Amino acid sequence: DAGVTQSPTHLIKTRGQHVTLRCSPISGHKSVSWYQQVLGQGPQFIFQYYEKEERGRGNFPDRFSARQFPNYSSELNVNALLLGDSALYLCASSLTEGSNQPQHFGDGTRLSIL
Amino acid sequence: GDSVTQMEGPVTLSEEAFLTINCTYTATGYPSLFWYVQYPGEGLQLLLKATKADDKGSNKGFEATYRKETTSFHLEKGSVQVSDSAVYFCALRSNTGFQKLVFGTGTRLLVSP
């Protein structure tokens, strides 16, 4: 079975632009979470979605938004990009929303802001 | 708020040496604890987990014990291999209903032949 897939794998943008990152969860998984990993740091939680509804939000500005589709795939949108948004963006999926469910991570999208 | 503190790296070992990576946490209640591993250019892979005090998680020769009295979850392996070279992240998840993982800053392990 395919794991969590993210696209694109790499992306280069300039300051002020917006970006959309995509995630397809493992088949049958209904919960998707997004994390930002700045170089040399641990991942930071951005959002969790379950059944198309936001279930949790981390400490990120309103420039960050996300949504989940009926097929449980998800998009992360970032507007008005800043240099500090350069990072690896990770998507994780789990079967349900429960806190005891293991999360499976994709390989991430590496976003570079020039 | 919740937080995780890991020992700084890199940790440099020779093959077959004993490994310890220290991890302590701060959290309210009874969080679940995890170790994830990240190989170059890849995402995170769950290595092991423990969900309550005194639980021992183990996988691929790695193990860690949930110590509530010392708020620790140290990772150990008796004999490391070159293929274990990677970045290791300790993480917690509080039992508040949603799936936010709080990660440490990671510890890079370098194993030489």
Nearest Cα of chain A lies from the Cα of B88 at a distance, in angstroms, of 10
Look up residue B30 and give its amino acid: Y
For chain B, list residues whose CB is within 8 angstroms of any CB belonging to chain A. 4, 32, 36, 41-46, 49, 51, 89, 91, 93-106
SS3 per residue for B37-63: EECCCCCEEEEEEECCCCCEEEECCEE
Q: What is the pLDDT of residue A100?
A: 72
Partner-chain contact B89 A100, CB within 8 Å: no
- Token code pair at residue B17: 């040496």
List Cα–Cα distances, B52 to A100, B49, B62, B66, in angstroms: 11, 10, 18, 7
Q: A60 in contact with B at a CB cutoff of 8 Å?
A: no
| Of the candidates A11, A13, A8, A9, the residue with the CA atom closest to the CA atom of residue A82 | A13
| Of the candidates B106, B101, B105, B87, the residue with the CA atom closest to the CA atom of residue B2 | B101
Look up residue B58 and give its amino acid: S
The answer to whether A87 and A111 have CB atoms below 8 angstroms apart is yes
Q: A25 in contact with B at a CB cutoff of 8 Å?
A: no
Per-residue pLDDT tens over the stretch B11-30: 999 999 999 999 999 998 88
Per-residue pLDDT tens over the stretch A25-51: 999 999 999 999 999 899 999 999 999
Q: Cα(A33)–Cα(B36) distance, rounded to whole angstroms? A: 16
Which chain A positions have a beta carbon within 8 Å of B44's beta carbon? 43, 90, 92, 105
Per-residue pLDDT tens over the stretch A57-83: 999 999 999 999 999 999 999 999 999
Look up residue A92 and give its amino acid: A
Q: What average pLDDT does chain B have?
A: 93
